[in-house]
């Protein structure tokens, strides 16, 4: 139980990267890196009491440095998902950003938080060990205004919940919309596709997006469509149906409007009959991107020499709606100078009854 630190490797620039392992009394483990505040390993018990590592990752820093378009386990900042036209206007001033996804900005730009070195504070509480990773993002970092102090705390509780708590504050008005980009596979990261695993999402609607995954502003009901996950469906059941949203997303790659209350609530779940593992996701944000790893190319050697095929992991990215800054009707990820942004995401694991 508690926290163990070890040397993981070195960055291209010669910085020493450490791995922090949290372990609870049930034997559940979560390992994070101070490089990118990446969640690298998540071992949870299956129905037979064996521990499965249920997230994608790499065994070297180089793996993460070389593959910068899949964001395995990454902490995304300053702004998750897309900003149309790679620019936005705040108080009359235009802020150009990196166009790293066609002509749009994705996950902050080329120099995202997932490749930064974080400063670490360990909190040695044996029942609920936690590690806090913090980062200073200077004014105009990635093109965003304001000197921003950002931190993410990973905490492992006695009831097999991994909690991610974000906090950030800037000295100028700015956009803050961090998320975590873990790919989950409840049969183990090495087990192949997630098409036979079942998803449930507490959302009546999703943000309609164009072929570049930019929201049009329309919220569309899931009723009668393959986007409806209000009850459990396997990911594979409808993913290849003739459907415009699925065609544009190359599969599921959509923001769900998760019945926003502004408070912590259950928003989604993933379960596997094979391993008997149930994962429930909680968040206090209005949106969640369901992304089924459609762009994994199958050319990446991950942990233990495993090659991850297309659709071998599923992301539940808690977030403000994509491109919210261009849609005043969406809840805004804009924070005033010296206003604290806080948000929490929880992944709770149990065995199906």
Cβ count within 10 A of residue 304: 10
Nearer to ligand BGC, 23 or 107 (CB): 107
210 binds ligand BGC (CB under 6 A): no
Q: Which is nearer to ligand BGC, 114 or 282 (CB)?
A: 114
Residue where the block lists tokens 């164009």:
210
Cβ closer to ligand BGC: 137 or 207?
207
Rounded to whole angstroms, the Cα distance separating 327 from 131 reads 35
Give the residue numbers annotated as catalytic, written as ranges: 181, 317
Instruction: Report, in Å, the least distance between residue 117 CB and ligand BGC.
Output: 22
For residue 289, state whether it binds ligand BGC (rule: CB under 6 A): yes
CA distance 168 to 342: 7
- Kindly tell me which residue out of 35, 291, 321, 349 binds ligand BGC, with binding defined by CB under 6 A: 291
d(CA 143, CA 48): 49
- Which one of 9, 34, 70, 113 is in contact with ligand BGC (CB under 6 A)? 70
**Interface of this chain with ligand BGC, residues 236 to 275, rule: CB under 6 A:** 253
Nearer to ligand BGC, 155 or 289 (CB): 289
Residue 4: CB minimum distance to ligand BGC, A? 30
Among 102, 103, 295, 340, binds ligand BGC (CB under 6 A): 295
> In terms of CB distance, is 155 or 300 closer to ligand BGC?
300
Residue 242: its H or E element: none
Interface region with ligand BGC, contact rule CB under 6 A, candidates 63-71, 143-151, 199-207, 221-229:
63-71
Token pair, residue 326, equals 């261009």
Phi, psi of 51 (to 5 degrees): -100, 125
- Own/partner pairs, 150-154, CB within 8 angstroms, 24+ separation: 150/77, 150/78, 150/113, 150/176, 150/178, 152/37, 152/75, 152/178, 152/180, 153/123, 154/22, 154/30, 154/32, 154/39, 154/130
Task: Give the DSSP H/E element, type plus range, for residue 204.
Answer: none
Structure token pair of residue 296? 């994994």
Identify which range of 43-51, 64-72, 125-133, 148-156 contacts ligand BGC by CB under 6 A: 64-72
Handedness of CA 46, 50, 51, 53 (dihedral sign): negative
Residue 300 binding ligand BGC, by CB under 6 A: no
> Tokens standing for 186?
């409840």
Binding to ligand BGC by residue 212, rule CB under 6 A? no
Least distance to ligand BGC from the beta carbon of 82, Å?
Answer: 7
C-beta closer to ligand BGC: residue 164 or 169 = 164
Decide: is 318 part of the binding site for ligand BGC (CB under 6 A).
no
Interface residue list for ligand BGC (CB under 6 A): 69-71, 213, 253, 289, 291, 295, 317
């Amino acid at each position: 139980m508690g926290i163990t630190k070890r040397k993981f490797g070195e960055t291209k620039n010669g910085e020493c990267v450490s791995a922090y392992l949290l372990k609870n009394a049930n034997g559940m483990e979560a390992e994070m890196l101070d490089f990118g505040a990446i969640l690298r390993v998540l071992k949870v018990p299956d129905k037979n009491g064996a521990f499965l590592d249920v997230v994608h990752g790499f065994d070297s820093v180089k793996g993460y440095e070389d593959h910068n378009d899949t964001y395995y386990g990454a902490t995304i900042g300053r702004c998750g998902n897309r900003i149309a036209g790679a620019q936005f206007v705040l108080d009359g001033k235009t802020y150009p950003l990196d166009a790293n996804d066609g002509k749009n900005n994705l996950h902050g730009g080329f120099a995202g938080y997932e490749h930064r070195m974080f400063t670490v504070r360990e909190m040695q509480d044996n029942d609920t060990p936690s590690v806090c990773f913090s980062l200073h993002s200077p004014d105009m970092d990635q093109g965003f205004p304001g000197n921003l102090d950002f931190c993410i705390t990973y905490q492992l509780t006695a009831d097999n919940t991994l909690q991610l708590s974000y906090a950030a504050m800037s000295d100028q008005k700015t956009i803050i919309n961090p998320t975590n980009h873990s790919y989950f596979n409840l049969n183990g990261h090495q087990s192949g596709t997630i098409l036979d695993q079942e998803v449930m999402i507490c959302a009546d609607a999703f943000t309609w997006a164009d072929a570049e995954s930019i929201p049009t502003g329309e919220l569309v009901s899931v009723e009668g469509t393959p986007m409806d996950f209000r009850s459990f469906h396997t990911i594979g059941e409808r993913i290849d149906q003739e459907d415009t949203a699925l065609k544009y997303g190359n599969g599921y790659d959509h923001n769900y409007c998760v019945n926003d209350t502004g408070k912590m609530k259950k928003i989604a779940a993933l379960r596997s009959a094979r391993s008997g593992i149930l994962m429930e996701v909680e968040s206090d944000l209005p949106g969640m991107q369901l992304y089924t790893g459609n762009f994994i190319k199958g050319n990446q050697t991950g942990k233990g020499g495993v090659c991850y095929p297309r659709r071998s992991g599923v992301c539940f990215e808690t977030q403000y709606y994509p491109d919210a800054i261009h849609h005043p009707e969406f809840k805004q990820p804009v924070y005033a100078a010296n206003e604290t942004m806080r948000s929490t995401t929880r992944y709770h694991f149990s065995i199906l009854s």
